[in-house]
Amino acid sequence: MVTVDPDKRSVATSSSGTLTYDFLVVAPGVVSQWTKIPGLAESVGKPGTGVVSNYSYETVASTWEAIRSFRGGTALFTEPLTPVKCGGAPQKIMYLAEEAFRAHGMRDKSRVVFMNAKPTLFTCPYYIPAIERVIKSRGMEVQLGQELVALRPDAHEAVFREAKTGHEQTIHYDMIHVTPPMTAPGFVRSSPLANADGWVEVDKFSLQHVRYPNVFSLGDCSSLPTSKTGAAVRKQAPVMVANLLAARAGEPLVERYDGYTSCPVVTGRGKLIMAEFNYDKQPVESFPFDQREERYSMYAVKAFMLPRIYWHGMLRGRL
């Protein structure tokens, strides 16, 4: 995709020329903006820099290598101000790394800090006390409202800006896992479909575009005010399909998406908090127990059941 012109009902592609449409579904996901943070693109995944990230196929292996070979010092884990794929993932890698440091006998020599640009630890307040207990029990630190704005890889320094005051602080790191800022793809951001923040602007209940009724969007590129997860897409897709078919038939759009999303927060090997909630940030839990507790059963769902649901259910249109 190169450009989309909803007024002319056309999309220009790099390989198939310009195509016209009667209805359009926009779901290209998000892109990681590595160059938005000076010093990141040229250092992430490179030996000797201490800069790693799970958010690229090219760099993900560097994360485990850095964790496995960590010999103490300061380990930072960042979350940007922008929405990201799987809102809990930036802190999940911290829990797994901390557990590995402990297993390798390096925990007493290590400072583990979550540097979150957002003002709260987690999207849904219901689960925050449980996550705070995990962090406190394991001696990890949290700094909220601290956005990574630059890296100095040669000096192993990270610069963070406080959201409220604009004050900057520089922290020396021995390892830093960076979650890069994320946006919709460029052709979305530059099109009339986008809102002021660059996301496809749709009604949050019907998934129909607010200005172009023959356009629908779902998933990570959309403006839907919920966490960007596979679980959310699983609930969005049937609503979008039903409403698209209704629009094609000239009928009312009656299906509604309530903002359901799920964030399986892995807190260690065999431990997981299964967060499920809706637009109102109210828990919408699937199991008959308090999912705020770390449980192996929920870890098993994440590790063994969800991959099968994804590959054999969702992608095949069965779930």
Give me the active site residues, please: 86, 263
- Locus of tokens 């830093």: 176
Residues facing residue 283 across a β-bridge: 277
Residue 33 and residue 247: Cα distance in Å, rounded?
35
Query: In terms of DSSP H, where are the helices of 126-225?
Result: 128-137, 186-189
Residue 137 — φ and ψ, nearest 5°? -65, -25
Antiparallel, parallel or unpaired: β 157-162 and 168-172: antiparallel
**Nearest to 89, CA basis, from 232, 223, 301, 262:** 262
Residues facing residue 177 across a β-bridge: 52, 77
CA–CA–CA angle 167, 80, 309 (5° rounding): 165
Element (H, E) at 299: helix 296-300
Residues facing residue 88 across a β-bridge: none
* SS3 state of residue 10: strand
Is the distance from CB of 221 to CB of 199 less than 8 angstroms?
Answer: yes
Is the distance from CB of 242 to CB of 266 less than 8 angstroms?
Answer: no
Residue 299 and residue 291: Cα distance in Å, rounded?
11
**Nearest to 101, CA basis, from 77, 128, 80:** 77
* Other C-beta atoms lying within 10 Å of the C-beta of residue 59: 17
Which DSSP state fits 34?
G
| One-letter amino acid of 140 | M
